Structure 1
């Protein structure tokens, strides 16, 4: 199966600028702000008072709540984030003509699918980290191989192991091009990892949080829309290979028109 990466990118952008894409962008923005604020608040609330006074100057946006409450809020938002990515995957995996609305199957088995997404995401993260520790290439290879896991879970409603295998199979033959997407994500992470500390050192921690969250949303929503488009390409190609159209033939072996 051959992936047309340029088409996936352009189609991903078109999906992002749709009505549903705009709503998903705002949802991602809200969740990321919540995660950033709850993480800041948890650190500030759990460290010793002496250290907290110094950290508060560089803490960014925080809430006046106990550290334990911040931790609970952060964990809750992580679960909500997994649910969000299920919704995002089901929405972006629609045909272009349906992108003006959310799919009817949006909430189907949402709880179970969210759990699968969380557990599978943890397995993939640990695998990629382990592969990266060994060498950069194994980590890149695994990241490219499992890019479609969330779509196998959310769209095809497969189990964790089945979704890992499904993603691996769909990526076969296109891992080099998918690796480009992974590298793009890594480069973006490096840019954010440079901008945020600079703004914090400049005495602008709140600005650093806002810039980080907004840029992250602006990158990752079209990024996942692009992965959705790539998933649809490879899935449809596989379907065409497995179910080729057979034209009826006459006794002279000449295809008849229907």
Structure 2
């Protein structure tokens, strides 16, 4: 089956602005806000230490939490773990095409297994793509596109990350150029949106409000990240459900019943 880019972009937007999408987006935004503020709390003393004496007033002020560094570090780690859980729930919701609500089973069905494999698989994914990029760039791009649906397979079909990588590689065969174009379009849109927001805030906010601008940009990236997940989840569904049985490959089985 040939991937329909327009459908993926349109349905991804529809999924994100639905009631279920809004719930996932709100939870993810709140989690990443806690992470950003906690990270800022850890970063601010380092920036202050690097500032030459006598120019302290020129140091950009970050929006921080009124907590000790140890607490901020714990909150940051907890936020990252929560973000991984929400990402799995988001993928399950988008792949299932749920718009009215997020089924409870998406939050409880083998979640520890899914989170561990998403995290470890993400590290393995980064290493493979990084190694391919160091070689001749093109192998890195091929690896990135070929393994693009690893998280969908882990989240929806409850397989480990190695099996998910193999299935993603098979599923993307024949559509890797289209998938690459889809990712490029999305990334360009994200970069442009981030630049516009950052540039616009420079005029709207008063001098010294760079920390607040950073938080706003982080929230823009939250929306962009979930939209990317929604679009790729629809692309995953298109390719998964459109596999030609005559090629000897059976359609994947949804372990979650979606």
TM range (shorter): 0.7 to 0.9
Q: Deviations over 1:27-78 (max 9, x none)?
A: 2211221221111111124567574994994242111222232222212211
- Report the CA distance shift for 1:216/1:18 in structure 2 as closer, same or farther (over 3 A): same
Is 1:175 the counterpart of 2:151? The answer is: no
- Mapping of residues 180-199 of structure 1, within 5 Å: 180-188=181-189, 190-191=191-192, 192=194, 196=198, 199=202
Q: Which moved more, 1:29-38 or 1:194-203?
A: 194-203
2:226 to 215, 221, 226: 221
- Report the CA distance shift for 1:51/1:165 in structure 2 as closer, same or farther (over 3 A): same
Q: Which moved more, 1:203-212 or 1:141-150?
A: 203-212
- Report the CA distance shift for 1:46/1:75 in structure 2 as closer, same or farther (over 3 A): farther
Contact 2:152 2:233 in 1 (8 A): yes
Structure 2 partner of 1:71: 73
In the alignment, the residues of structure 1 paired with residue 57 and residue 190 of structure 2 have an alpha-carbon distance, to the nearest angstrom, of: 24
Is 1:58 the counterpart of 2:70? The answer is: no
Structure 2 residue runs of 5 or longer lacking an equivalent are 252-258
Q: Deviations over 1:79-126 (max 9, x none)?
A: 11111111011110114xx42122353111111111111100111122
Structure 1 partner of 2:92: 90
Q: Secondary structure at the match of 2:101?
A: coil
TM-score (norm 2): 0.81
In the alignment, the residues of structure 2 paired with residue 59 and residue 36 of structure 1 have an alpha-carbon distance, to the nearest angstrom, of: 14
Q: Secondary structure at the match of 1:37?
A: helix
Contact 2:117 2:161 in 1 (8 A): yes
Structure 1 residue runs of 5 or longer lacking an equivalent are 245-258
Q: Deviations over 1:106-162 (max 9, x none)?
A: 111111111111100111122223333334433322221122111100100001100
Contact 1:82 1:118 in 2 (8 A): yes
Q: Deviations over 1:181-230 (max 9, x none)?
A: 32234435644378659949953213322331232123222221111111
Structure 2 partner of 1:144: 145
Number of residue pairs the alignment of both structures matches:
242
2:209 to 199, 204, 209: 204
- Report the CA distance shift for 1:208/1:132 in structure 2 as closer, same or farther (over 3 A): farther
- Mapping of residues 20-39 of structure 1, within 5 Å: 20-39=20-39
1:234 to 231, 239, 244: 239
Q: Secondary structure at the match of 1:167?
A: helix
Contact 1:19 1:100 in 2 (8 A): yes
Give RMSD over aligned pairs.
Answer: 2.9
